[in-house]
């Protein structure tokens, strides 16, 4: 079963998705377009963003690809200006980009070097802060906006690896609450989504064929989630259906963190 788009729910909205050329971002942009939004796919990788935007247009949607480095405030200003020229002011920002290429250098406390910390925190944390700084003035002028940040279950559950990534995502959740608190009265909501394992090409590369065996015993669902599950959650939080939801972290993790850690062993 795939969550079906809600026709027209995002019509009149301009949604900017960072990392829009990636596994999850491209699918989320397509979902928002299918609900009526004009979407801007912003990515360091201009070619993947363009290919994903082309697919949206071929499917009948409105999309623009822009090159963006989320760690560079001038690059952000240019992307938001291009989005506004094409479609009008950005009223939804999905801060989705992350430094996935750093996974192989991000281990435990003793074997992750400071330069890895610098890069991961710069992209995953400072990047979302710069995103908020780039779009908030426009949202305040409009008197409305929705910002959806990308966290991870790694923000909450410890592991032997990805120490910098996990810390960056915990900080993303903190920034989410700060932005929600500061600008709720201005009509701007800010929430985060914390995916568990998602069956993307990238995750398959990381976990290989061990993915199902490793994760399924710890899920409360019958299958590992897909990009569509995240896209559906973003579209909901972007829309007025979530008008009373702000400052929240929505876990889309198949219940990975919702039960006693020993449960899988007890069931065996
Ligand atoms: N795949 C999963 O299982 C999973 C689980 C939990 C959370 N997440 C989160 O979901 C989000 C998307 O992940 P994904 O799996 O689609 O990864 P992905 O690598 O496919 O997509 C990330 C995109 O971000 C872009 N990017 C990297 N650095 C950038 C920069 N400086 N400026 C602009 N764009 C940049 C990349 O080019 C890429 O297109 C990330 O925030 C990730 O942490 C993914």
User: For position 96, what pLDDT does the model report?
Assistant: 98
Collect all residues with Cβ–Cβ distance below 8 Å to 226 and sequence separation of at least 6.
Answer: 2, 198, 199, 200
| Per-state percent for the chain, helix, strand, coil, to nearest 5 | 50, 15, 30
Collect all residues with Cβ–Cβ distance below 8 Å to 220 and sequence separation of at least 6.
Answer: 254, 255, 258, 259
Q: State the closest ligand 1 atom to the C-alpha of 230, by its place in the atom list counted from 1.
A: 10
Measuring from atom 2 of ligand 1, which residue has the nearest CA? 198
User: For position 238, what pLDDT does the model report?
Assistant: 98
Q: How far is the CA of 95 from the centre of ligand 1 (A)?
A: 10
Two tokens, residue 183: 């600008």
User: For position 206, what pLDDT does the model report?
Assistant: 83
Handedness of CA 129, 130, 131, 135 (dihedral sign): positive
pLDDT block averages, 10 residues each, the chain of length 268: 86 98 98 98 98 98 98 98 98 97 94 98 98 98 98 96 97 99 98 97 89 95 97 98 98 97 90
Catalytic residue, candidates 76, 165, 236, 244: 165
Q: With beta carbons less than 8 A apart as the criterion, state whether 37 and 86 touch.
A: no
Q: How far is the CA of 245 from the centre of ligand 1 (A)?
A: 24
User: For position 1, what pLDDT does the model report?
Assistant: 56
User: For position 209, what pLDDT does the model report?
Assistant: 87
User: For position 2, what pLDDT does the model report?
Assistant: 63
Q: How far is the CA of 8 from the centre of ligand 1 (A)?
A: 27
Q: How far is the CA of 89 from the centre of ligand 1 (A)?
A: 24
Output the ligand 1 site: residues, CB below 6 A. Answer: 18-19, 21-25, 43-45, 48, 68-71, 96-100, 123, 127, 150, 152, 195, 197-198, 200, 202-203
Q: State the closest ligand 1 atom to the C-alpha of 21, by its place in the atom list counted from 1.
A: 39
Collect all residues with Cβ–Cβ distance below 8 Å to 267 and sequence separation of at least 6.
Answer: 217
Q: State the closest ligand 1 atom to the C-alpha of 124, by its place in the atom list counted from 1.
A: 41
Q: Mutation test of ligand 1: which of 22, 30, 102 has the most ligand atoms closer than 8 Å to its C-beta?
A: 22
Look up 244 and say whether it is catalytic: no
- Is the pTM of the predicted complex or chain greater than 0.95? yes
Measuring from atom 3 of ligand 1, which residue has the nearest CA? 198
């Amino acid at each position: 079963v795939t969550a079906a788009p809600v026709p027209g729910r995002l019509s009149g909205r301009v949604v900017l998705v960072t990392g829009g050329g990636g596994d999850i971002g491209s699918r989320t942009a397509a979902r928002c377009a299918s609900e009526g939004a004009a979407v801007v796919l912003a990515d360091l990788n201009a070619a993947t963003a363009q290919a994903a935007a082309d697919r949206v247009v071929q499917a009948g949607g409105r999309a623009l690809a822009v090159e963006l480095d989320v760690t560079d405030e001038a690059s952000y200003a240019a992307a938001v200006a291009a989005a506004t020229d094409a479609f009008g002011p950005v009223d939804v920002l999905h801060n989705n980009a992350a430094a996935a290429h750093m996974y192989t250098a991000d281990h435990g406390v003793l074997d992750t070097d400071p330069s890895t910390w610098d890069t991961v925190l710069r992209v995953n944390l400072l990047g979302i802060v710069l995103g908020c700084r780039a779009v908030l003035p426009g949202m305040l002028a409009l008197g409305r906006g929705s910002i959806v940040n990308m966290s991870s279950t790694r923000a909450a559950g410890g592991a032997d690896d990805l120490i910098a990534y996990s810390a960056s995502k915990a900080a993303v959740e903190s920034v989410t609450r700060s932005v929600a608190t500061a600008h709720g009265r201005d009509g701007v909501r800010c929430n985060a989504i914390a995916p568990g394992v998602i069956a993307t090409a990238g995750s398959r590369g990381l976990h290989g064929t061990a993915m199902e065996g490793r994760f399924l015993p710890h899920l409360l669902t019958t299958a590992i989630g897909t990009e569509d599950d995240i896209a559906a959650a973003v579209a909901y939080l972007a829309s007025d259906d979530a008008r009373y939801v702000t400052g929240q972290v929505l876990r889309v993790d198949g219940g990975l963190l919702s039960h006693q850690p020993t449960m899988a062993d007890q069931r065996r």
